[in-house]
Structure 1
Amino acid sequence: MKRTTVTRSMLSMAAAAVLVLAGLAAPATADPPTADPPTGGCLADRLTRLSTLRHRLDELALNGLAGNSQYWYVDHRRCTLAIATLRGAADPVTSAFLHTARMLPAPVEITELGAPVTTRVARRPAASPDTRAATGFHGGSTLYSGLTGTVFICTAGFNGYRANTTGTAGHCARDAPTWYDGTGTLIGTVDESRFPGADWAVIPAAEGLDLTSDILDGDSTTTITGFARPRLDDRVCGTGATSGTRCGTIDATDVTVNYPEGPVTGLVRSTQSGTAGDSGGPVHTGHTGVALISGGPPEGAPTFLQPLNF
């Protein structure tokens, strides 16, 4: 017979979750959930309940009390709060987190995932530098944290979102401050970044570096003429150092992702696929840049994106 051992730390975390639950519980006078809204969208009172619940779950996550819950967001099409958790997760902290979601007067849908959501940085042995002369540094190019030994690999975002800078994911900056291209040319050192909470980093261009106003896009380049925020149902394409160019549709906004390093709020979810090494890559619709690649399952879809709001 299989025996499950509950450690003192697990009990302590569960007890902490219960205390938070007590403070977050809805008042006894709260109205019951409303009926399904018309096709035009969520009724205002239901949307308010859903948004309140999402913020309360965010608070639990910030206190390390989300357990194996992976991400959650308000599904405006179905007028529910969608929560994704690891399949079979039944530890006390995850159970308490899901209990919070179920006990409040808001409709909740819980799905189970076969793999955890992680950031998409790669770590590999350094390759020999490309000896070809660089003619300009494009968005979507591979970034390396060093030239010898084992290095982190990410992807450059958009050049010029902030003047004379390129960008990448914030978790890449957490792994290494200084980045190079495939020729061994210094791209720059991170000046400003945020992760967790958000997932972005700004890299001022090294002296003499020619930043182009385009991004690598399959076998060609796409000129970026402006920037905007991603919107629900946008058709987007993103470039990653490992995956190349992958396209999809924005199917959720204002998503909280519970990464192992801590929760990140305000992300969007795309149906495009990806893998390790794509972190920080530029995502665009037409000639408009809208986001940077943040993370997802180890392989495949969905992909979570950091909007250009920093």
Structure 2
Amino acid sequence: MTRRVLRTLLPAAALVWTAAVGPAAAAVPLPIDAPLCGPAELERLDGLQADLDAKAAAGEAGRAQYWYVDPRACRLSVAVLRGAEDAHTEGFVGAALAASALPAPTSLTEVDEPVDRRIARVPAPAQRGARAAGTLHGGSAIYSGTSGLVYECTSGLNNYRPGTTTTAGHCADAATTWYDARGNRIGAVTDWRYPGTDWAVITPVAGWSLPNDVLGSTVPVARFGKASLGEAVCGRGATSGTRCGSVTAVNVTVNYPDGLVKGLVRSSQSGGEGDSGGPVYDGGTGLGLISGGASSGSPTFFQPLTF
């Protein structure tokens, strides 16, 4: 059994290693409308991804950053931090390659930056005439306190669960009570999950108005849906404002430093610390909540609306 590794330099300067066990496979780009995998190939690849998820949950992923099934190329894609040569990373990559066989090879990508959650640690904003309550738009900055150093995240989609707002689960893991930029208490986290998935629900105190909208957009968020490959999306973060891109992968497993998160969506939109929990949408359809990404801004990973 032989293994041949082909290297292709992408415009974003990420090095792609397409590795196949068995006869050599041509590393050529596929058109967006290329045929999808057949059911048997997809089932096999999904099983391989589940095996890698189990290894990662046991702390054996090393510096592997994320992985997902690419149905258009009919392969499993694994992103690894460039230069990582520790035993866990080598073992994880070896497991992915050993299980791979044509027509479903494993594609390895070296990335220059680790992915992480997009929560920020900042000085509390100066209070500006706090009031009992007000209007909380999707995409607003929210803070874990009113003095000293606090966590900053972003409010997500309002009324996904009626009468509540949302944010990232890792924000709820950091703090259970959240405030707006004026020091008004918004409310408390009443349901959340992290790691594994990455979402949280905040139930506001009496008096808050939760419009079905997102800052920076004039289109009301009137419905909720599921993101699809190639779909144009925008996201709103407290730090980055509105950033747009397209969906490049679904059902992605991300190996954050403090926990594994499965089922995320990868998009080409950029972002930064403080954007965690912000809404991702396509026109008037809410699609998810910003979870994390590369420190340089792209890619971004978001939690779909599955809670």
- In structure 2, the partner of 1:10 is none
Larger proportion of helix: 1
- CA shift digits 1:194-225 (9 cap, x unpaired): 010000000011111111121112xx543110
The farther-off stretch of 221-230 and 133-142 is: 133-142
SS of residue paired to 1:304: strand
SS of residue paired to 1:222: coil
- In structure 2, the partner of 1:96 is 91
Determine if contact 2:154/2:278 at 8 Å carries over to the other structure: yes
| Amino acid across the alignment from 2:231 | D
Pairwise CA distance, 1:46: 2.3
Superposition TM-score, scaled by structure 1 size: 0.85
Which among 102, 110, 129 is matched to residue 127 of structure 2? 129
Structure 2 Cα separation of the partners of residues 34 and 226 of structure 1: 46
Equivalent residue runs for 1:30-41 within 5 Å: 39-41=34-36
SS of residue paired to 2:200: strand
Structure 1 Cα separation of the partners of residues 62 and 39 of structure 2: 30
Which among 234, 241, 246 is matched to residue 244 of structure 1? 241
The farther-off stretch of 158-167 and 104-113 is: 104-113
Structure 1 gap segments, 5+ residues each: 1-30
SS of residue paired to 1:203: strand
| Amino acid across the alignment from 1:80 | R
Structure 2 Cα separation of the partners of residues 164 and 33 of structure 1: 57
- CA shift digits 1:64-108 (9 cap, x unpaired): 110100000001121111000100000001111111001113410
- In structure 2, the partner of 1:22 is none
SS of residue paired to 2:219: strand
Determine if contact 1:33/1:46 at 8 Å carries over to the other structure: no
Determine if contact 1:228/1:290 at 8 Å carries over to the other structure: yes
- In structure 2, the partner of 1:11 is none
Which among 94, 102, 105 is matched to residue 100 of structure 2? 105
In the alignment, structure 1 residue 289 sits paired with structure 2 residue 306: no
Equivalent residue runs for 1:64-213 within 5 Å: 64-106=59-101, 107-131=105-129, 135-213=134-212
Superposition TM-score, scaled by structure 2 size: 0.86
SS of residue paired to 1:83: strand
| Amino acid across the alignment from 1:153 | E
Structure 2 gap segments, 5+ residues each: 1-20
- In structure 1, the partner of 2:41 is 46
